[in-house]
Amino acid sequence: MTSTPAPTPVVRIKLGEDRPAPSPDALGRTRIGFLPGLAPVDLWERGRGVWKASLPNVAAAELALLVANGVVVAVGTIDGVFFVSGGRIAINGEPDPLHPLIGQPDPLANGSQNPIAYGIVNTVPAVPAAVQRSYEAVLTDAIDVLTEAARLRRPRLQPSSTGRWEPHPDDSEPSDWAEFVTLALAGAAANVGGIETALRGRPGSWEAAGVRSLLESTVGTDEGELMRHRTAPVHITLNIDEILTEHGDTWQQYDAAADEIGHRLDEAAVANPEIPAEEYVWVYDTQVGADPTPRSPEAPAWSWDAWQNFATRSGATPAQIENIKAGAQDGTGGINVLYVAKSDVAGDDFVRLSDERDAHLEAIVAVQDELDKQRDREFASYAEALSARIVELARETVTAEVHVHLDGESSSAGANEPVVHEWIRSAVEAISTPADLPGTPLERLPLQQASA
């Protein structure tokens, strides 16, 4: 398994605008086409078929790229195809909501009206699918479990002397097998992300309609109720930069602070202009394969010894001197100008004045460095608080483990997207952002430094 980009065969599918699906639709859909804000699994269902495509090219591809308005909006694996009448197919696979191609320009853009294109793209390839057991093997295990459940017995309830019902110590009766089956179906649907996700293999079948009706009669249409049956861990990925861009003015405050530092740097550069080198040193332009040439006709002929003497007095090490000399002679390293002191005193003055100017400007640049570190600390604290609040909200609904990950596109792969989005929305509303901290970022900076 690797996340390193590699030449990857892909199928590109252009999506049209949101519109009703043809009736009847082989995949049981009511809408097709691109609609902003859709969950990855819903977008994938709208775009994975039904298409007139080259079967050999689809079979050779690893990824399907869904493109809308010239931008990749979804990426999914190609695990197989579903054949439809008329030589058309639908792609079977899984959407990858974290794939790096999402949000990038169409890598196979062309002027053709054909929505399908094939090609090789240098990108992160599909993660090899785990070797799955056969349909028959899984079905056999499911039948065995359901058979075992059908044979379960429970103590028969009897009235006690207190008027309450208590389990009989010896007598038993068959357990509620229908309840067991319903709870098992609800848990499985919740584990894969929802009822429609579980039924996407053939959502328009009579079997799907029956299972859908059973589950909706059990948990209703509130997806949050279905999540209560989830047993698989919930993994949520947050993009803190994205959240703080959309909520509050944290980034605006830090941009304003950076602008202020830039203004200070500009003022300092005007108040401390560059030292006029020609007053203290002879200036020579380097040239490949020849000695440097003087800019002033009054300058002495070039001498590597004289230059090395000045470089040594300026604090350069022997290794640095050799590197500079090599770069000046072969044109590498960006060495375009070399200095030779007009006198030892003049050279020392030039170095001292240049160092003083650099120190003054570098002190201002250091403020920006500290500001960046402060921003990272504040963002990390916000991320920790936001993650903790999301876990608290999730605990009100699910008993399964909840893990929040950072540094990625916001998503909840394998979980019910609307429910998770509501947890995130509620947490964002409840947790103060760095913009709510006292003072401006620059005003907070001395306090942060003092407490470090």
The residues, ordered by sequence, that sit 6+ positions from 414 with a Cβ below 8 Å of its Cβ are: 191, 192, 193, 232, 234, 235
CA distances from 301 to 277, 295, 296 (A): 18, 11, 11
On whether the CB atoms of residues 89 and 51 are closer than 8 A, the answer is: yes
DSSP for 170-193, please give it: EEEEE--HHHHHHHHHHHHHHHHT
Residue ranges of the domains in the chain? 6-123, 135-231, 237-268+355-451, 281-341
Task: State residue 302's pLDDT score.
Answer: 94
Amino acid identity, residue 226?
A: L
Collapsed DSSP state (helix, strand, coil) of residue 94: coil
d(CA 8, CA 118): 11
Task: State residue 451's pLDDT score.
Answer: 38
Instruction: Provide the edge-to-edge strand list for the sheet that holds 337-341.
Output: 290-294, 281-287, 337-341
Task: State residue 392's pLDDT score.
Answer: 93
Task: State residue 132's pLDDT score.
Answer: 65
Environment class of 103 (CB within 10 Å of its CB; exposed 0-12, middle 13-18, buried 19+)? exposed
- pLDDT, averaged in runs of 10, over the chain (452 residues): 75 92 83 86 87 83 92 90 77 86 89 86 73 82 96 87 83 91 94 85 89 91 85 84 89 94 94 93 93 94 94 92 90 88 94 93 92 93 93 88 69 62 91 94 72 40
Task: State residue 259's pLDDT score.
Answer: 95
d(CA 423, CA 393): 6
